[in-house]
Amino acid sequence: MGKIKSLFKTKWIWIAVTIIVVVISVFGIHNVGYSKGQDSLTAEVNKELLNYEQIQEKVGEAEQTLVDVNNKIETAESDLKTIEEKVAKNQDELDKLQELASNRDGLETDISQAENTLSTIKQNIESKTEELQSLTGKLQKAEGKPLKLEAGHYVVGNDLPIGRYKITPTQGSGNVFIDSGSGEGKVSETLGPNPDYHLSSYVFFAENGDTMELNVPVTFTPVE
């Protein structure tokens, strides 16, 4: 009987020990699992933090890129405005040139008409001058023969007698300059056959000491 009790006690001791071991094992397994879960969660958090920092960095880079792009756009817009202003200015000048070109024919016509009018006026002046000389001076050929002088320099009193003369070009056309003895200009005319550009004749009074520069052969015909 005593052996049985001793054996029974021993059995219960082993059962208790087994239960304790099981409890300890379960608790240990729980702790190990919790620790692993905690480590995994920490790793995930750290990963998310890293991703957030990378995203923030990318956002900052994108914002800087946007600023650079905006600056380039502003510069391009400024350059475009300058180019447009130059184009507008050049267009104004081109319009003026085109207007001048379109008016060229009209201007040439006006010039031609003005030249014709000037020629008519010269002819009228010449005609009226001769008429006036005829009325006031009773222009007539005086006694004496006409005197022909070649182109050159002459002095009245030495090369041409004092008197009133009608000068006409012997041939061709050219300028006739006559100054008084004191250097005052008396005659400065272009004589020739073309009434558009020349006078066919001119009347003047030659005084002693007058100097004459003839650029064309001239005939001096005495007149009263």
| Structural domain count, the chain | 2
The answer to whether residues 12 and 95 belong to one domain is yes
Q: Do residues 46 and 128 share a domain?
A: yes
16 and 90, same domain (yes or no): yes
* Prediction pTM value: 0.38
Question: 177-222: per-residue pLDDT in tens?
Answer: 999 988 899 999 999 988 888 999 999 999 999 999 999 999 999 9
- Whether 148 and 214 share a structural domain: yes
**Whether pLDDT at 28 is above 70:** no
Asked whether residue 87 falls in the same domain as residue 52, the answer is yes
- Look over the chain and give the mean of its residue pLDDT values, rounded to a whole number: 78
Confidence of residue 19 (pLDDT cuts 50, 70, 90): confident
Indicate whether 126 and 169 sit together in one domain: no
Both 133 and 150 in one domain: the answer is: no
For residue 187, count CB atoms less than 10 angstroms from its CB and return exposed for 0-12, middle for 13-18, buried for 19 or more. middle
What is the rounded distance in angstroms from the CA atom of residue 91 to the CA atom of residue 106?
23
pLDDT of residue 59: 77
Which domain range does residue 77 map to?
A: 1-139
pLDDT higher than 60, residue 143: no
